[in-house]
Structure 1
Amino acid sequence: MTDLFLTGCLRHAPLLETLLGRVAPEGQPAQLPDHALHWTADLSTPVVIADKGQAVPGVLLRVSEEELARLDYFQGAFGLHLAELQVEAERGVIEAQVFLSGPGAEPGPALEFDAWQAEWGAFMTRVAVEAMGWYGRLGPEGLRSRLRGIRLRAAARTAISAHPDRAGHDVTQDVNMIEHRFAYADYFGMEEALLQFRRYDGSMSAPMARSCLATGRASVILPYDPVRDSVLLIEQFRAPLYLGGDPAPWLWEPIAGMIDPGETPEQAALREAEEEAGVILSRLETVGAAYSSSGSSMEYCHLFVGLADLGGAGGVGGLASEGEDIRSAVISFDDLMEGIDRHLYRDMPLLVAGHWLARHRDRLRAES
């Protein structure tokens, strides 16, 4: 058994229990002298840094070699490593293992644990659930390379779990998860399950094998210039269309992008419009929010019409770091609707946003 000093996100009990694979005891109160708890510079992770005269509160816990390996697997993906330091505990000064940031890591602002726990605890626990689903199957570097997608999916699950219950069902009683596994993970993921659900006659269904394309939440934005009565569309290559055999896998769409952890759908909409098409939106009109394909995917889309001055807009853009090569073009509202009526457009969010705009166009033009 090893003495381990826990601070930062590891003090969040649901997260710790997910990582350990067992109910965690409270541990012994302790502190790490001459150190302080900070965010990383990108505000993604709590880290412990040397800071003379300060002390980091935490708890001292006895863990097995396997439990320490599980914790090291998760923390290592965030660039943290174990070091042996002296910790002050009730039973005196103890040599304990502590997770520290790697060499050269730039600290951000000081972190207050209660505030972090309230805002990020549930999210990080969901990150841990998927990450530990790969323990023993995927190496530490492989997990690190997939963290972005895992974080996007965790943020989506955290937000989706807060949706109101509109169906009148109790999922704790009306769904029985028999088996579950993470089958694939990268930017997107794939999950497989064997489950039952309660039928409308009150009985439970037979066990069913189902799969789910696991993604994050997305913001979808159709820029509209009410003065010029025109919209901006983007065109890009879509690999799923090509893989499905479509001879025309370049698709005209609204602007769209994944919502980052800690970001609102509105913030993501403003960011994506600028990144993908160089458009600055002056206002967002909410079209709605819905699942894009509920039979196969957990993707939840927030749709907007964004008001903008589209004079001079158009061209080629996107982020090279994300492999984007995006062409944008400004067309009239009449051309958009003619294209919809002639079934030229094949992107569902574009059809939804276009029909919403047709119903609200007169108001938007009157307000401009």
Structure 2
Amino acid sequence: MSDLFFYGTLRHVPLLERVLGHGADTLKVSDAALADHSVRAVQGEIFPMIQPETGSSADGLLVQGLSDVDLERLAYYEGGFDYGLQNRMVTTREGAFVQSQVFFPEPGKWVPGEEWSLTDWVEGWGDIVTLAAEEEMAYFGRIAPEVMLRSTRAIQTRAWAKLLARKRRTGEPRDIDKDVIVHRHKRAYVDYFGMEEIDLQHRQHDGTMGPVLHRASLLQGSAVAVLPYDPVRDRVLIVEQFRPPVFLIDDPEPWLWEAVAGMIDPGETPEHAAHREVMEEAGVSLKALEYAGGAYSSGGSSTGYMCLYVGLGDLTETTTTGGLASEGEDIRTEILPFEAFMERVDGNDFKDLPLLTLAHWLARHRDRLRA
């Protein structure tokens, strides 16, 4: 059995339990501190680091009684961030000195910032990171930690999408706790997207439980799609970019004209994502957003949920250099008079479903927006 001192995110017991794969009630957990050290936020990241600092004291949790498997799971979770265990003497609240192990970052790997606050982290990121840990730890023993690190941001985006999804209620009377039975749930693949398989039964319309179904789903985060519209000049803006999935299906025209679109980042509101994406892809600062609805883009195969907006602003300039180079985006824009835009819609020139949906919404609400 081993004793570890946690000073950062793993002080959040729900996260610690997800990483260990069992409850903390089997362990001895107590408050402790490591003298002459401080806990600092890592610049550009959402997790902290510990560093020597004379006269300071790093508060944390002393967790005693960890098994070899517990240590393997902890090393897997921390390993992708280049944190390794070192022996240190910590002091308990009662004043006892206890030899324990502490995760220290690789020297020079991260840049320390301001003092880190567990309370602030829990409020902003606790639920997201804890839920993300469920998916990450499902691949323990299957994928190397440095490979998992590549997927961390995407997994957190999916976790945020799950938290948003839990709030979507329309008055449906059925109860998934009673009307859905899960027999097997497997996380089959992880990268930018995830793939999960499930065997389940659900209650049918006649009241009986249906047969066991084997299904798979592409796991995605939530997204926004925005059609910029200038009500004074009566113009819309559309964007064009290359789409690998369209290429993979053997479509000879994988450069699609679309609405501005992008993922909702962890902790971000859909409205903020909409403003951010329009600025990134088109260089346009919107004055207002009109919500045009939200829906699952392909409920039979994907978890993807899209919030739709018409964005109001001045459309006077186009760009051929939109998007973020760091994400491999190569985007150009075009501004069209509304009537010309709708002629192309009716002529079946566009293959992007969110763009078509927003076009028809705008056609219904255009007079109101222009007024």
CA distance in structure 1 between the partners assigned to 2:206 and 2:104 by the alignment: 55
49, 52, 55: which one pairs with 1:53? 55
Q: C-alpha displacement at 1:205, in angstroms?
A: 2.0
- Farther-moved stretch of structure 1 (163-172 vs 286-295): 163-172
265, 275, 284: which one pairs with 2:280? 275
Write the deviation string for residues 107-163 of structure 1: whole angstroms up to 9, x where unpaired: 233333233223322111111111111111100111112212212111111221232
1:99 is matched with 103
Percent of counterpart pairs with the same letter?
47
CA contact (8 A) 1:30 1:59 kept: yes
Whether 1:33 and 2:35 are equivalent positions in the alignment is yes
SS in 1 for 2:321: strand
Q: CA RMSD in A?
A: 1.8
362, 366, 369: which one pairs with 1:364? 369
Whether 1:336 and 2:338 are equivalent positions in the alignment is no
2:119 is matched with 114
1:59-70 matched pairs, under 5 angstroms: 59-61=61-63, 62-70=65-73
Q: C-alpha displacement at 1:43, in angstroms?
A: 4.2
Given residue 101 of structure 2, which amino acid in structure 1 is its aligned partner? Q
2:16 is matched with 16
Q: Which runs of 5+ in 2 are unaligned?
A: none
Aligned length: 366
1:81 is matched with 84
CA contact (8 A) 2:20 2:70 kept: yes
Given residue 80 of structure 2, which amino acid in structure 1 is its aligned partner? A
Whether 1:355 and 2:357 are equivalent positions in the alignment is no
SS in 2 for 1:144: helix
SS in 2 for 1:361: helix
SS in 2 for 1:68: helix
TM-score, scaled to structure 2: 0.93
TM-score, scaled to structure 1: 0.94
Given residue 349 of structure 1, which amino acid in structure 2 is its aligned partner? P
CA contact (8 A) 1:279 1:313 kept: no
Given residue 12 of structure 2, which amino acid in structure 1 is its aligned partner? H
CA distance in structure 1 between the partners assigned to 2:146 and 2:217 by the alignment: 25
Write the deviation string for residues 210-263 of structure 1: whole angstroms up to 9, x where unpaired: 111111111111111112211111111111112112222221100111111121
CA contact (8 A) 2:318 2:332 kept: no
CA distance in structure 2 between the partners assigned to 1:239 and 1:302 by the alignment: 22
SS in 2 for 1:317: coil
16, 19, 44: which one pairs with 1:42? 44
1:233 is matched with 238
SS in 2 for 1:260: coil
CA distance in structure 1 between the partners assigned to 2:146 and 2:245 by the alignment: 27
Whether 1:314 and 2:319 are equivalent positions in the alignment is yes
CA distance in structure 2 between the partners assigned to 1:197 and 1:12 by the alignment: 35
CA contact (8 A) 1:45 1:78 kept: no
Q: C-alpha displacement at 1:47, in angstroms?
A: 2.9
CA distance in structure 1 between the partners assigned to 2:254 and 2:275 by the alignment: 26
Write the deviation string for residues 75-113 of structure 1: whole angstroms up to 9, x where unpaired: 222343322211102472112111233322222333332
- Farther-moved stretch of structure 1 (177-186 vs 24-33): 24-33
CA distance in structure 2 between the partners assigned to 1:176 and 1:274 by the alignment: 44
SS in 2 for 1:269: helix
CA distance in structure 2 between the partners assigned to 1:37 and 1:201 by the alignment: 58
1:76-225 matched pairs, under 5 angstroms: 76-89=79-92, 90=94, 92-104=96-108, 105-164=110-169, 166-225=171-230
CA distance in structure 1 between the partners assigned to 2:180 and 2:263 by the alignment: 29
Given residue 52 of structure 1, which amino acid in structure 2 is its aligned partner? T
Given residue 73 of structure 1, which amino acid in structure 2 is its aligned partner? Y
1:251 is matched with 256
- Farther-moved stretch of structure 1 (276-285 vs 159-168): 159-168
SS in 1 for 2:300: coil
SS in 2 for 1:19: helix
Write the deviation string for residues 324-353 of structure 1: whole angstroms up to 9, x where unpaired: 111211111111111122222121111111
1:158–1:37: structure 2 CA closer, same or farther, 3 Å change rule?
Answer: farther
1:332–1:106: structure 2 CA closer, same or farther, 3 Å change rule?
Answer: same
Spell out structure 1 runs of 4+ moving beyond 4 A: none
CA distance in structure 2 between the partners assigned to 1:109 and 1:305 by the alignment: 39
